[in-house]
Amino acid sequence: MSLSKIKFDKKIVLSFWIILIALIIAAPTILPVFRLNLLGRYLSLSIVALGVDLIWGYTGLLSLGQGIFFALGGYCAAMYLQITSSSEFPNNIPEFFALYGVEKLPFFWEPFKSPVFTFFAIWIIPALVAGLIGFLVFRNRIKGVYFSILTQASLLVFFNFFNGQQKLINGTNGLKTDVTQLFGQMVGSESMQRIFFWITAILVIGAWFFAKWVVKGRFGNILIGIRDDEPRVRFTGYNPVIFKTIIFSIAGGLAGISGALYTVQSGIVSPQFMTVPFSIEMVIWVAVGGRGTLLGAILGAVFINYAKSLVSEALPASWMFIQGGLFILVVTALPEGVLGWIQGDGPRNLLQRFGLKRKIETYPSLEVNNKEGNNE
Amino acid sequence: MNNKDLLNLINITVSFEGFLALNKLNLNLKKGELRAVIGPNGAGKTTFLDVITGKVKPTKGEVIFKGKSLVGRKEHKIARLGVGRKFQSPRIFENLTVKENLEISVTTPKSPLNLINKNIKDEQLNEIERLVKIVNLAQKVDSKAGSLSHGQKQWLEIAMLVGQKPDLMLVDEPVAGLTDEETDLTADLLKSLSGENTVVVIDHDMEFIRRLDSNVSVLNQGTVLCEGTMETIQKDKKVIDVYLGRPED
- DSSP of B106-172: H-SS--HHHHHHSPPPHHHHHHHHHHHHHTT-GGGTTSBGGGS-HHHHHHHHHHHHHHT--SEEEEE
**From A325-329, B58-62, B233-237, the region with the lowest mean pLDDT:** B233-237
pLDDT-based confidence at B40, cuts 50/70/90?
A: confident
- Residue A252 pLDDT exceeds 90: yes
For chain B, domains (ranges, CATH) are: 5-82+166-244 (3.40.50.300), 91-149 (no CATH)
- Residue A212 pLDDT exceeds 70: yes
Contact: A236, B164; criterion CB under 8 Å: yes
CB contacts, 8 Å: A239 with chain B:
74, 76, 110
Contact: A225, B105; criterion CB under 8 Å: no
CA A273/CA A74 separation, integer angstroms: 9
pLDDT attached to residue B135: 86
Which run of H or of E encompasses A264? helix A240-266
Angle at the Cα of B50 from the Cα atoms of B47 and B51, rounded to 5 degrees: 90
pLDDT tens per residue across span A89-139: 877 888 888 888 888 888 998 899 889 999 999 999 999 999 999 999 999
pLDDT attached to residue A22: 82
pLDDT tens per residue across span A161-190: 999 888 888 888 889 888 777 877 777 788
Q: Enumerate long-range contacts of A29-34, CB under 8 Å, 24 or more apart.
A: A33/A190, A33/A193, A33/A194
CA B227/CA B12 separation, integer angstroms: 17
pLDDT attached to residue A99: 85
Q: What is the mean pLDDT of residues B65-82?
A: 91
pLDDT-based confidence at B144, cuts 50/70/90?
A: very high
Residues 6+ apart with CB under 8 A from B134: B159, B162, B189
Nearest chain B residue to A223 by CA distance is B112
CA B246/CA B233 separation, integer angstroms: 14
In contact, B97 and B145? CB cutoff 8 Å: yes
- Residue A33 pLDDT exceeds 70: yes
- Residue A352 pLDDT exceeds 80: no
Query: Which percentage of chain B shows pLDDT scores above 70?
Result: 96
Which of B169, B220, B222 lies closest to B12, judged by CA? B222
Could you give phi then psi for residue B214, rounded to 5 degrees?
A: -130, 180
Sheet strands side by side (includes B83-86) = B83-86, B168-172, B198-202, B34-38, B215-220, B223-228
Contact: A228, B160; criterion CB under 8 Å: no
Residues 6+ apart with CB under 8 A from A247: A54, A55, A58, A59, A61, A214, A223
Q: What is the mean pLDDT of residues B56-81?
A: 91
Chain B interface includes A234 (CB < 8 A): yes
Domain ranges of chain A: 41-301
pLDDT attached to residue A244: 95
Q: What is the mean pLDDT of residues B85-99?
A: 90
- Residue A374 pLDDT exceeds 70: no
The alpha-carbon gap from B166 to the nearest alpha carbon of chain A, in Å, equals 10
pLDDT attached to residue A209: 93
Contact: B76, A238; criterion CB under 8 Å: yes
Q: What is the mean pLDDT of residues A258-266?
A: 94
In contact, A177 and A78? CB cutoff 8 Å: yes
In contact, A274 and B116? CB cutoff 8 Å: no
CA A260/CA A251 separation, integer angstroms: 14
Interface of A with B in 252-311 (CB under 8 A): none
Query: How many CB atoms lie under 10 A from the CB of residue B1?
Result: 9
Chain B interface includes A236 (CB < 8 A): yes
* Amino acid of residue B14: V
